[in-house]
């Protein structure tokens, strides 16, 4: 019980605090002479990082594991603060990104790995960048498209294109540089989705009446 008119004395130890309006902090330590190509949403990145707490406690290191961390930027494959910290970065650049809890792993943290409400410090080096496609596209043509596209895909000339024929043709165009698939995604899934988009009646084959070259404004792919 606390008596009336009591003067109370509290000994307080602040464990952690943060402002939910805080954003990330980025400090670039090194940029190569040519730093003109900057990372953006849709780009496929390979990078190394050390992850630690503010007190220097090391949480994780791709350098120690001997392999890079690879993501498609802007698709939720890392915490939001990390995604933000990898934007507008060029290959060879080294930077430190400090991420507040609400842009990292929040109050809960990750059991056994990241404490709750942790401020994270990432030391990052970007090693490789593969430019992504325009937003909304998973496949594009590089240059002019053949006016006889359906006939080229339908190699056996039976008037029907099966998934195997379609996949073989698309991969051949990518290998020759005539087409490009979105980097960092499952290529077979992209091709299958493209085929499904053309197979309008869902019978597992595409005929000339179903097939058309989509308008350049169409999303997802250019077929």
Handedness of CA 172, 175, 177, 180 (dihedral sign): positive
56/91 same-domain check: yes
Q: Which residue has better confidence, 115 or 20?
A: 115
Range of the domain at 77: 25-130
Q: Are 70 and 49 in contact (CB under 8 A)?
A: no
The end-to-end CA distance of the chain, in Å, is 76
Q: Which residue has better confidence, 124 or 19?
A: 124
Q: CB within 8 A of 54, min separation 6: which ones?
A: 98, 119, 121
pLDDT at 82: 98
The CATH number given to whatever domain includes residue 153 is 1.10.238.10
Is 60 exceeded by the pLDDT of residue 129?
yes
Which CA distances in Å does 96 have to 33, 46, 70, 147, 168? Answer: 19, 16, 18, 50, 44
Is 50 exceeded by the pLDDT of residue 213?
no
Q: Are 126 and 28 in contact (CB under 8 A)?
A: no
Closest by CA to 60, choosing from 19, 118, 106, 15, is 118
The CATH number given to whatever domain includes residue 109 is 3.10.50.40
112/154 same-domain check: no
112/144 same-domain check: no
Q: Is residue 219 part of a domain?
A: no
Q: Measured between alpha carbons, how far is 44 from 72 in angstroms, rounded to an integer?
A: 4
Looking at the chain, the number of H-run helices and the number of E-run strands are 5, 10
113/34 same-domain check: yes
Q: CB within 8 A of 144, min separation 6: which ones?
A: none
Q: Is residue 87 part of a domain?
A: yes
Q: Is residue 13 part of a domain?
A: no
User: 3-state DSSP call for residue 82?
Assistant: helix
Q: Is residue 221 part of a domain?
A: no
What percentage of the chain exceeds 70 in pLDDT? 92
Count of domains for the chain: 2
Q: What average pLDDT does the segment 134-163 reach?
A: 91
pLDDT at 144: 87
What percentage of the chain exceeds 90 in pLDDT? 72
45/125 same-domain check: yes
62/145 same-domain check: no
Domain's final residue, options 97, 130, 163 = 130
- The per-residue pLDDT of the chain, averaged, comes to 90
36/120 same-domain check: yes
Q: What average pLDDT does the segment 165-192 reach?
A: 95
48/95 same-domain check: yes
Q: Is residue 15 part of a domain?
A: no
In whole angstroms, what separates CA 116 from the centre of its chain? 25
Is 90 exceeded by the pLDDT of residue 184?
yes
117/168 same-domain check: no
Q: Is residue 150 part of a domain?
A: yes
Is 70 exceeded by the pLDDT of residue 53?
yes
Q: Is residue 5 part of a domain?
A: no
Q: Measured between alpha carbons, how far is 163 from 168 in angstroms, rounded to an integer?
A: 8
92/175 same-domain check: no
29/122 same-domain check: yes
Is 50 exceeded by the pLDDT of residue 94?
yes
């Amino acid at each position: 019980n606390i008596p009336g008119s009591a003067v109370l004395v509290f000994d307080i130890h602040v464990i952690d605090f943060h402002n939910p309006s805080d954003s990330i902090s980025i400090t670039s330590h090194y940029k190569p002479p040519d730093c003109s190509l900057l990372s953006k949403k849709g780009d496929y990145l390979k990078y190394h990082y050390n992850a630690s707490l503010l007190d220097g406690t090391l949480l994780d290191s791709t350098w120690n594991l001997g392999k890079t961390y690879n993501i498609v930027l802007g698709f939720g494959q890392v915490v939001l603060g990390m995604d933000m910290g990898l934007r507008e970065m060029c290959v060879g650049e080294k930077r430190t990104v400090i991420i507040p809890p609400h842009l990292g792993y929040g109050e809960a943290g990750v059991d056994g790995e990241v404490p709750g409400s942790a401020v994270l410090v990432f030391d990052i080096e970007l090693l490789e960048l593969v430019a992504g496609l325009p937003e909304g596209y998973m496949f594009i043509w590089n240059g002019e498209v053949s006016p006889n596209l359906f006939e080229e895909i339908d190699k056996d000339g039976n008037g029907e294109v099966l998934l195997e024929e379609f996949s073989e043709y698309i991969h051949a165009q990518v290998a020759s540089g005539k087409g490009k698939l979105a980097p960092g995604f499952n290529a077979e899934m992209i091709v299958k989705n493209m085929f499904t988009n053309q197979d309008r009646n869902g019978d597992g084959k595409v005929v000339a009446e179903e097939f058309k070259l989509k308008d350049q404004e169409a999303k997802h792919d250019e077929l």
